[in-house]
Structures are given as C-alpha cells and as structure tokens.
Amino acid sequence: METEGELLATSELRLERAHLVAMAAHCLSCYPEEGCGLLVGELSSGTVVEVHPTTNVAASSQLYTVDPLAHLRIDRAAEDSGLSVIGVFHSHTHTDPWPSPTDVGQAPDPAWHYVLVSLRHEVPSTRSYRIVDGNILEESVVVIGN
C-alpha cells in the first residue's frame, strides 16, 4: 500500500481528451441534477480506457448515487476485458470541483480516482483526487493521445 506522501508524489489520472468531453457532456445533460458515471481502465497506471455515464438514481442537484445494477454490469465487463473500475466522476452543479464532506465520507476505495466536474462556470472544470483515510489528495490530470 502506498503512503500518502507517495500518493501525492506519483498519483495521476491519464485519459484522452474525448474522455474529458464525454464526462462534461454527460454532466451537462443531467443538469440541474448531478451527473455521474464510472471510469474503467488500468488501475496500476491510472489510465482511463472507457468512460461509462450512469443514471444518478438519487436524482438530485446535491447528491449522486451510481445506479448499482449498472455498476455491476460495468464491473463484470471490465473484469472480462482484463480492466477494472478505477474511479468515479460526478458533477458539482453550483460549486467548485473540490470533494465535499459527503464525497469524502462515502468514498469507497482509496485506490480509486475521484473526478469532479464543476458546472459552476460557463466552461466545465474537471479535477481529479485520491481520497485516502478521509484525506483529499489532488492529482494531475494528464491528457494522452489526440
């Protein structure tokens, strides 16, 4: 297990520009409710291979819950492809892209990447975090490919 210091020094989320666009587009389509979805990829390198928008079954502007059955299906398909669910994205419709106490309290896995898409301003703003033992560690978002 990495220490927090190692996480801060090395953690990054690697994805293509199309993945950023897909997350922002889904979050905008869900507005004024929060949008959410899962990231599938390679856990060891933090590389996103697929973005899976899901239904926010909380149907709220302040809360999100990833559709559990969609999570099950996405997880199975990822495992069958030799990949993993490596994180989750969701929108903050009126606040900055910083994890809320609810986000931190309910973060299920310290190995995951927690991506926030803020719709506070005209252009969506995307940041990524690791959440370890209740501590928030912002990581670099590295755009790869075209």
Partner 1 sequence: MPVEVRLPTLLRPAVGGQPVVSVEGATIGDVLSNLQTAFPGIEGQLLTEDGSLHRFVNVYVNDDDVRYLDKLDTKVSEGDVISILPAVAGGTA
50 binds partner 1, rule: CB under 8 A = no
In whole angstroms, what is the distance from residue 76 CA to residue 88 CA?
16
User: Between 17 and 96, whose beta carbon lies closer to partner 1?
Assistant: 96
134 binds partner 1, rule: CB under 8 A = no
103 binds partner 1, rule: CB under 8 A = yes
Place of tokens 């990054």: 12
8, 25, 43, 136: which one binds partner 1 (CB under 8 A):
43
Place of tokens 């309290």: 105
Q: Which amino acid is at 2?
A: E
What's the number of CA atoms in the CB half-sphere (13 Å) around residue 76? 5
77 binds partner 1, rule: CB under 8 A = no
10, 45, 60, 135: which one binds partner 1 (CB under 8 A):
60
Instruction: For the chain, report the end-to-end CA distance as a whole number of angstroms.
Output: 33
45 binds partner 1, rule: CB under 8 A = no
Using CA atoms, how far residue 8 sits from 3, 12, 73, in Å, is 9, 9, 32
Least distance to partner 1 from the beta carbon of 146, Å?
Answer: 30
Least distance to partner 1 from the beta carbon of 38, Å?
Answer: 7
- Binding segment for partner 1 (CB under 8 A), chosen from 9-17, 21-29, 64-72, 134-142, is 64-72
In whole angstroms, what is the distance from residue 123 CA to residue 95 CA?
13
